[in-house]
């Protein structure tokens, strides 16, 4: 196995390092450099932490012959609890740069030992591996410190939200188990902050929006020495799903502390409740309250830009007769089909709502009275052109339409009242017709 050209130096402990290894070294030469270090060194696969090679000092520490390391897991060397901590130290320093040392309480040869561990990423051929150095921790206070470290790690893993500690340049140093479960990305997949932006926000436009939101919010918070104002973003997960995440951030010393709260369900419920609050439950059209909110919004926008706006009032002809002859169940199905036909011929920007019973209303922007009248006629023809097929019956359904084009400074209420009067005139004139004033 030859060394990759970017391998730099291999650090075994805070004060011990292997000299730079030139590119193109053989596997034997890699082993030679590791064996030159007196501290125990174990070379492992990046994510699954299976042992590729260990030096003679590691063989003594863990009580194995060198041939006994091939393919074994780190759990076999240090026990499950220590393995959990090892798997959560992301150590995303650049290749060849050692990470910060930390302590683990390990089960080594059936005995508890407190070890000081340091992790260095190394590039071997075309693969990134992790080089672990293990040394007995200095005795004074180390057992107590290791116990605190274990308790803090357990506490962070218990948290129901993602917790992350990153360096000042946003490189991940520690992530709790909830972070991994939430997003599903491995340490190797997010080896630097650019990997996160690329994977979590695959759409380039949304990525730039998310990046700007993140850095702008952090800059404001740091300038005011406070926590970042929380905000939501949609994040892509490793399994192809999407989660709505609330982001919280605080800079503490030289570290960034980030919280990731999954609010997908809450935001989905909020959207559903809003739809229920804004929608007529039978037809799916806007209900009366929501219609008038949208009418006020569109009217104000058109008034500011001096754009034309018109209001149409629609009433299904002889609807009471349908209910009386066929029952209210059939009447409901007529209302549903009526709504579908109207929506099919309206423009996406038009606002369509049910005022109550068989009466509906539309707000639309059209350039002139002719266009408004054409829209009213399209609605009338869409309803009356073909009978409504209800079970085995074919029902002839027609609609009368009244319209009013809003004049300068006219209120929504005034324009709708004029449209309602035009609707009354259409019905009085024989129904199945449109009149626009």
* CATH number, position 235: 3.30.450.20
User: What is the number of structural domains in the chain?
Assistant: 3
Q: Is residue 341 part of a domain?
A: yes
Distance of CA 387 to the CA centre of its chain: 46
> What is the reported pLDDT for 81?
86
Of the three residues 247, 267, 287, the one that is the final residue of a domain is 267
Based on the fold, state whether residues 286 and 402 are members of the same structural domain: yes
> What is the reported pLDDT for 159?
87
Comparing 30 with 338, the larger pLDDT belongs to 338
Whether 208 is catalytic is no
Based on the fold, state whether residues 417 and 397 are members of the same structural domain: yes
**pLDDT higher than 80, residue 72:** yes
Calculate the CA dihedral of residues 60, 66, 70, 76 and round it to 10 degrees.
-20
Q: Is residue 4 part of a domain?
A: no
> What is the reported pLDDT for 211?
94
The answer to whether 103 and 149 have CB atoms below 8 angstroms apart is yes
Based on the fold, state whether residues 355 and 236 are members of the same structural domain: no
Average pLDDT over the chain, rounded to whole? 86
Structure confidence at residue 120 as a pLDDT band (50, 70, 90): confident
Q: Provide the whole-model pTM.
A: 0.55
Burial 175-214 (b: 16+ CB within 10 A, else e): bbbbbbebbebebbebbebeebbebbbeeeeeeeebeeeb
Based on the fold, state whether residues 63 and 105 are members of the same structural domain: yes
> What is the reported pLDDT for 146?
60
Based on the fold, state whether residues 288 and 430 are members of the same structural domain: yes
Catalytic residue among 293, 337, 358, 410: 358
Residue 43: domain span = 10-158
Based on the fold, state whether residues 285 and 361 are members of the same structural domain: yes
Comparing 297 with 30, the larger pLDDT belongs to 297
Based on the fold, state whether residues 218 and 103 are members of the same structural domain: no
30-44, 196-210, 381-395, range with greatest mean pLDDT? 196-210
Tell me the average pLDDT across 372-383: 96
Based on the fold, state whether residues 421 and 312 are members of the same structural domain: yes
Based on the fold, state whether residues 260 and 345 are members of the same structural domain: no
Tell me the average pLDDT across 28-42: 80
> What is the reported pLDDT for 144?
62
Based on the fold, state whether residues 188 and 292 are members of the same structural domain: no
Nearest to 337 by CA among 384, 377, 300: 384
Based on the fold, state whether residues 135 and 213 are members of the same structural domain: no
Based on the fold, state whether residues 186 and 203 are members of the same structural domain: yes
């Amino acid at each position: 196995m030859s060394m990759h050209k970017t391998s730099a130096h291999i650090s075994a402990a805070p004060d011990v390092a292997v000299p730079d290894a030139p590119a193109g070294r053989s596997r034997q030469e890699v082993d030679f450099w590791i064996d030159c270090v007196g501290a125990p060194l174990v070379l492992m696969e990046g994510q699954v932490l299976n042992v590729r090679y260990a030096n003679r000092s590691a063989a003594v520490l863990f009580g194995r012959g060198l041939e006994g390391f091939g393919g074994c897991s780190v759990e076999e060397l240090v026990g499950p609890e220590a393995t959990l901590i090892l798997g959560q130290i992301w150590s995303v320093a650049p290749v060849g740069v050692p990470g910060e040392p930390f302590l683990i309480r390990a089960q080594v040869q059936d005995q508890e030992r407190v070890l000081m561990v340091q992790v260095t990423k190394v590039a071997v051929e075309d693969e990134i591996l992790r080089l672990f150095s293990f040394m007995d921790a200095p005795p004074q206070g180390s057992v107590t410190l290791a116990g605190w470290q274990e308790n803090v790690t357990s506490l962070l893993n218990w948290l129901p939200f993602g917790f992350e500690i990153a360096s000042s340049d946003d490189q991940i140093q520690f992530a709790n188990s909830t972070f991994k479960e939430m997003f599903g990305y491995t340490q190797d997949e997010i080896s630097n902050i650019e990997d996160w932006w690329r994977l979590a926000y695959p759409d380039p436009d949304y990525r730039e929006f998310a990046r700007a939101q993140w850095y702008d919010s952090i800059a404001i918070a740091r300038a005011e020495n406070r926590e970042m104002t929380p905000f939501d973003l949609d994040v892509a997960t490793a399994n192809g799903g999407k989660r709505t995440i609330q982001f919280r951030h605080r800079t503490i010393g030289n570290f960034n502390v980030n919280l990731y709260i999954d609010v997908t369900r809450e935001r989905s419920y909020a959207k559903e409740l809003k739809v229920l609050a804004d929608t007529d439950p039978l037809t799916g059209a806007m209900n009366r309250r929501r219609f008038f909110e949208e009418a006020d919004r569109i009217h104000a926008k058109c008034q500011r830009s001096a754009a034309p706006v018109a209001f149409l009032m629609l009433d299904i002809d002889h609807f009471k007769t349908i209910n009386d002859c066929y029952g209210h169940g059939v009447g409901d199905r007529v209302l549903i089909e009526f709504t579908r036909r109207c929506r099919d011929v309206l423009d996406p920007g038009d606002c369509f709502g049910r005022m109550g019973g068989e009466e509906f209303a539309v707000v639309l922007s059209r350039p002139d009275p002719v266009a408004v009248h054409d829209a009213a006629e399209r609605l009338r023809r869409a309803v009356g052109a073909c009978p409504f097929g209800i079970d085995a019956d074919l029902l002839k359904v027609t609609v009368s339409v009244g319209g009013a084009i809003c004049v300068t400074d006219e209120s929504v209420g005034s324009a709708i009242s004029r449209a309602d009067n035009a609707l009354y005139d259409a019905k009085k004139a024989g129904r199945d017709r449109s009149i626009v004033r």
